[in-house]
Chains A and B, each alone.
Chain A
Amino acid sequence: MKSSDASRLTLILLFAPFALWIILLIILPQIGVGWLSLREKLGPREYAFGFGNYLDFFREPIYWNTLLRTAWISVLVTILALLIGFPVAWYIAKIARQRSRAALFLMCLIPLWVSDLVRAFGWILLLRETGIVSGMLQWAGLSSGPVELLYNDITVVIGMVYTVVLFMIVPLVSTLDGMDNALLEAGYNLGGSRMTVFRRIVIPYAMPGIVAGCIITFMLAAGSYLTPILLGGKNSMWFTEQIYEQFVTRYNWESGATFGVLLLVFTSAVVWLGLRLTGQNLASTVAKE
C-alpha cells in the first residue's frame, strides 16, 4: 500500500539521525574507551591485551583513594543539596504567591546559565587570602591577619553544592507544583501531625522529583572538574583530574581510559542502585520536564 510505504520511509528518515548520533557519538566511542582500557603498553608500538591497567589502578592506593574520595564527597554534596534545596523548592512551589513564584524560580535559574568557571571564579574572589571575606573579617576585628579560606574540603563542598543545588531544585519544584494542597488538607483533616503528613504524603509524592534531582546532582558532582580543582587547589585529589592528567599531562591514554571506564561504571552503579532502592526508572525520572 502507498500510505504504509510512505510511513515506513518517514520512519527510516527519522531513525537515521538518531542512529547516527547514538552510534557514532555515544556507543562506538564508549566501546573505543573500553577497548583502549584493556590495552597494555609494553613498549613503543607494542601492545598486549588484558586487565593490567585495572590491576595497576587497584595496586596504587592513591588512585582508588581518589575515586573513593570523589565518591563520598559527591554523595555528601548530593545529600546537602537535597537538604538545602527542598525547603527552597517547597517555598517556591507551595508558599509563594503566583506572581512571585515565577520570579523566584527565575532567580534560581539565572546562576544556572552562568558558566561553572565564573561561579568558581566568584568563590575564589570571595574566599582567598586577599578576598572579600578575609577582608571583612579583618575589618570587623575578628581576625588579625589575612585568612586563607580556599583549598580545603569544606570550601570544595560549599562550592560544589552551589554548582549543583539548582539541578536539585528544578525537578523538586516541578513535582511539588503538581501536588494538590487538598492532599495536605486531607492529611491534617484525618488527624495527621505535621510530621506524619510530611513523611506519609509529601515525601512519597515528591519521590520522583527527589530521585531525579539526586541522580542529576550526583552525576554532575562526580563528573565535575573545575570546582574541585579551582577551590581545592592542585592537590585536591579529584578523580576527573586524574583522568585529565593521564590523558593530557602524562599522555598515558590507556590508563586514562581505564579511569574513565571506572568512573562511568561507578557512577552508573550508584544511579542504578538509587533507582532500584526507590523503585523508579531512568526514563520517567530524568526525562520528566
Chain B
Amino acid sequence: MNVAAPRSGLMRGLYIGYMLAFFFYLAAPLAAAAIFAFNDSQFPALPWKGFTLNWFFGSTEPQIGLFNDRRLMAGLINSLWIGVIVSALSVVIGTCNAFLFERKSFPFKSALYVLMIVPLVIPGVILGISILVFSSMIANGVSDAFWWEWDFLRPGVLLVILGQLSFLVTITTLVISARLRKFDIALEEAALNLGASRVRVLATVTLPYLAPALFSGFVVAFLVSFENFNTTLMLVGSDAPLTITMYDRMVKVGSTPVLNAVSVFLMIGSGLLALASVFAQRPRRGEG
C-alpha cells in the first residue's frame, strides 16, 4: 500500500478527478489555439467550417498560409538564427561558469555565485530596459564625443541577442553545473595517469561526459530565446523575431487563423526539441 495515497475510495476518485481537471486546464487553451488552425474560416472561432491546411500552405488571398506569409517567415528566420547564436554563446559562457564555480576556488566565490543566479530573478522587462538604457548611453556618448554613429547599439538584433544572453547564461550555467557536479574527478585523474594531456582529457573524458548537459542546455536556451517576449520587446529593431511579429499582427490586424497555424507550428517544434533534450539527459546504459 502506498502511504502517500488517499485511503478511501471516494477520496482517491476525487483526487484523480482533480488531476484530470488540472490537465484539462493545461490543455484547453493550447487545444483552442491549435484547433482553429485547421478551420476553413476567416476567423478563429466557431462554427466549424471544415478541415483545411490552407492556414499553413495557402498562397491565395484571403487564406495566405504561414509558409507563404513573408513577414511571419521573416520573423521565424530571425527567431531561428537569433536563437542559435544566443544558445551557442550561452552554452559556451555557461560551460566556463560551470567549471569556474565547480572546480576553482577564488575570493568572494559564494557572493559571486549569488550574483550569477540573480539574472534569473530580475523581471525580463527590466533586463530589457537596462540593456536598452546602457547601450544607448554608450551610443550617445560616442556620438557626442567623436561624432561616430554606432547604430549597432541602437535597438536591433545585437541588443536582442545581448538581452536574451543576460539571463540565459544563468540557465545554461545551472544545467551544466548540475552535471559537472556529478562528475567523478577520478576519471580525469585516471586519464591523466594513463598519459593523456590536459587538452586530451578535456576532449575525451570531460566533454563527452558533459555532452548531454551541453545539448540540453542548448535546447533549453534556444526554446527560451525563441519564446521570449518581455526582454525582446524592449530591444527589438526592424528585424523582429517571430513572437514580436505575431504580437504585432494580433494587436494590429486582430486574431486570424494564420496565428493559430503559427501556434501549432511552435507547439510541435518546441515539443520535439523539449523531448529531445529530455532523452539526451536520460542516463544511458553505459553510465554507471
Contacts and interface: CB of A to CB of B under 8 A. Distances in A.
The answer to A–B direct touch (Cβ < 8 A) is yes
Interface of A: 10-11, 13-15, 17-18, 21-22, 25-26, 28-30, 32-33, 36, 84, 87-88, 90-91, 94-95, 106-119, 121-126, 130-132, 135, 162, 181, 184-185, 188, 215-216, 219, 222-226, 230, 240, 243-244, 247-248, 253, 256-257, 260, 263-264, 267-268, 271, 282-283, 286-287, 289
At the interface, is chain A mostly helix, strand, loop or mixed?
A: helix
Contacts of A256: 129
B148 interface: no
Contacts of B278: 106
A162 B230 CA distance: 17
Contact of B26 (A18, A108, A116, A240): A108
Contacts of A131: 32, 45
Given A225-B229, A283-B114, 8 more contacts: A18-B116, A118-B30, A122-B30, A125-B260, A216-B121, A225-B124, A225-B233, A283-B110
B88 interface: no
B230 A240 contact: yes
Given A21-B165, A110-B271, A126 B15 contact: no
Contact of B32 (A125, A185, A243, A247): A125
Interface in B88-116: 92-93, 96-97, 99-100, 104, 106, 110, 112-116
A33 B126 contact: yes
Contacts of B207: none
Contact of B28 (A126, A223, A226): A126
A108 B116 CA distance: 28
Interface stretch (B51-59, B60-68, B130-138, B183-191): B130-138
B119 interface: yes
A264 B275 CA distance: 34
Interface of B: 2-5, 15, 18-19, 22-23, 25-33, 36, 43-46, 92-93, 96-97, 99-100, 104, 106, 110, 112-127, 129-134, 137, 162, 165-166, 169, 174, 178, 223, 226-227, 229-230, 233-234, 243, 246-247, 250, 255, 259-260, 262-263, 266-267, 270-271, 273-275, 278
Given A14-B100, A121-B250, A260-B129, A130 B45 contact: yes
A30 B270 CA distance: 32
B178 A286 contact: no
Contacts of B110: 283
B131 A264 contact: no
Contacts of A17: 92-93, 96-97
B47 to A, nearest CB: 8
A114 B247 contact: no
B243 A115 contact: yes
Given A110-B274, A289-B178, A26 B118 contact: yes
A117 B246 CA distance: 8
Contacts of A114: 30, 227, 263, 266-267, 270
A271 B121 contact: yes
B133 A29 contact: yes
A131 to B, nearest CB: 7
B247 A94 contact: no
Nearest to B44: A125
A32 B93 CA distance: 24
Contacts of B129: 33, 243, 247, 256-257, 260
Given A25-B166, A115-B266, A122 B32 contact: yes
A219 B122 CA distance: 7
Nearest to A271: B121
A199 B104 CA distance: 41
22 contacts: A11-B104, A14-B96, A18-B112, A21-B165, A29-B127, A33-B133, A36-B137, A91-B19, A94-B5, A95-B4, A95-B15, A106-B278, A107-B23, A115-B229, A115-B266, A117-B243, A122-B30, A130-B43, A215-B121, A243-B125, A286-B117, A287-B117
B120 to A, nearest CB: 6
Pick from A32, A131, A257 the residue with the most CB of B within 10 Å: A32
A21 B273 contact: no
B169 to A, nearest CB: 5
A148 to B, nearest CB: 14
Contact of B271 (A113, A215, A224): A113
Nearest to A108: B26
A240 B262 CA distance: 26
A282 B121 contact: yes
A117 B241 CA distance: 13
Given A17-B96, A107-B23, A114-B267, A95 B130 contact: no
B123 A223 contact: yes
B125 A244 contact: yes
Contacts of B223: 113
A155 B92 CA distance: 41
Contact of A26 (B114, B166, B263): B166
Contacts of A84: 22
A125 B36 contact: yes
A30 B106 CA distance: 25
